[in-house]
Structure 1
Amino acid sequence: MAVLEDLKEYAERATGLRRPGKRTAPDLVRPRKPQTVRFKDDGLVPNHPRWPLIIYRGAVAFGKGLDPAAVIEDLFEANGWGDTWRNGIYDYVHYHSRIHEVLGIARGKGRVRFGGNKGRIFTLKAGDVAVLPAGTGHQCLSADDDFLVVGAYPPAGTYDECTTAQDRPKSLKSIPKVPVPRKDPIYGVDGPLAKLWKKAK
């Protein structure tokens, strides 16, 4: 599926077809109250010491004739979150210690556990967006065959993938140093993300 989606993305970006564009993508956002969840260090997955996972339910509307993945890509990029990819979510527990991540559901439905093996399971479906502070464990437990996720990252930080106990010592030092992004990936500069992450102690 990833290869096919990569080809679609390439064609859409080359032609502009089925894409809303960065200027109009924010018009497809619905106001939603953020759902926040904090996770403790579980011994393997550190999670973030201060900031919660943020989930926006049904926050993205997909305009008629537009590719849902392209809508999410343009929306994230309009708010400064880049290096987008299209795929699923890995089926093993992992986290990123040097960068935050946003996951937008373009198609289908999946059961995703956040926070590591002792975390919580959420069913995510098309239009949902999850914003993961650095250190947040995540793993797909099951999904529809057509489950498609668009991921992206803020400008500050470096991608890494942590899965083992050997990753912990460095991770515990790097996670708190990843800065708050300037913009919420879907609601922009006035979105809830900055307040929630700065306010959280």
Structure 2
Amino acid sequence: MPIDRRRFCSALALLAAAPFCPFARAQSREVAMERIALTAPAHGVPNSHYPVMLYHHVIPPDTADNAAYLEHLFMANGWPPQWRYPVYPFTHFHITTHEVVGCYAGAAQLQLGGEQGPIHRVGVGDVLLIPAGVGHKQIAADKDFMLVGAYPSGFSPDLCRDEPEKLAERLKAAHGVPLPKSDPVTGHSEGALKYWAGL
């Protein structure tokens, strides 16, 4: 079930500020990653010249609270967490911000790039950094599948569907979203800062 955004953010801020925060070890990490190129528009989905970044095994094996670990990691890297929820079962995307989602329970098959796009399995410890404009959709999932979602500080998501008549304006808007100042997983190294810069 979704958590009220205001109460969630307030509680998270208090937890992170606690002197003996149990998630203080959630630090920026160099992890295995793959890049998924989805550069061509698909129907009404803009997609992006930036690749989707898929990070593996982000959560250490001895972590007591997977969701809290990801929230603290994203927060520490300038991506305040906003929700806990699965992925919508229809193709959608954002043209106002990039998005990061981290799996803390279960597993799912997610389709990227539009209705004909590739399908990727995402499980506990996997994190997807999705550029503005890239379509995503949940195809199938375990009953307990859940994600933490976050956006760069100062940015908020809209919700766009696959509408071909709006493609031109949405392409322009999505491509105008600036590069993030930090990577939600690796901080100020690797990740988006390495593979998105200069594209």
Fold similarity call, TM over 0.5: yes
Query: More helix by proportion, 1 or 2?
Result: 1
Q: Distance in 2 between matches of 1:116 and 1:186?
A: 25
Q: Is the 8 A contact 1:183 1:191 kept in 2?
A: no
Give the TM-score, by structure 2 length. Answer: 0.86
The question of 1:73 aligning with 2:74 is answered no
Greater shift, 168-177 or 84-93, is seen at 168-177
The total of aligned residue pairs comes to 194
* Pair 165,3 (structure 1): closer, same or farther in 2 beyond 3 Å: same
Q: Does 1:41 align with 2:38?
A: no
Q: Does 1:170 align with 2:173?
A: no
Letter in 1 for 2:88: Y
Aligned to 1:26: 27
Identity score, percent: 32
Aligned match of 1:159: 157
Give the drift of 1:159.
1.5
TM-score, structure 1 normalization: 0.85
Task: Give the CA deviation at 1:173.
Answer: 1.3
SS in 2 for 1:89: coil
CA contact (8 A) 1:18 1:70 kept: no
Judge conservation of contact 2:108–2:140 (CA < 8 Å) in 1. yes
Query: How far did residue 191 of structure 1 move?
Result: 2.6
Counterpart in the other structure of 1:98: 96
Aligned partners of 1:25 and 1:33: how far apart in 2?
Answer: 17
SS of the equivalent of 1:106 reads strand
Alpha-carbon distance between aligned partners in 2 of 1:183 and 1:143, rounded to the nearest angstrom = 30
Amino acid at match of 2:96: R
Alignment counterpart, residue 134 of structure 1, candidates 129, 132, 138: 132
Question: Where does the alignment leave 5 or more consecutive residues of structure 1 unmatched?
Answer: none
Indicate the residue corresponding to 1:191 in structure 2.
190
Q: Deviations over 1:159-183 (max 9, x none)?
A: 2111023442321111111111111
Contact 1:12/1:19 (CA < 8 Å) preserved in 2? no
Specify the code of the residue in structure 1 equivalent to 2:125.
Answer: G
Consecutive unaligned residues in structure 2, runs of 5 or more: none
Letter in 1 for 2:167: R
Seen in structure 2, the aligned counterparts of structure 1 residues 96 and 106 have a Cα distance that, compared at 3 Å, is same
- Residues 123-177 of structure 1, C-alpha deviations (whole Å, 9 max, x = no match): 0000000000100100001111110100100125442111023442321111111
Q: Cα deviation per residue 1:38-65 (whole Å; 9 max; x = unaligned)?
A: 11211211101x2111101112225443
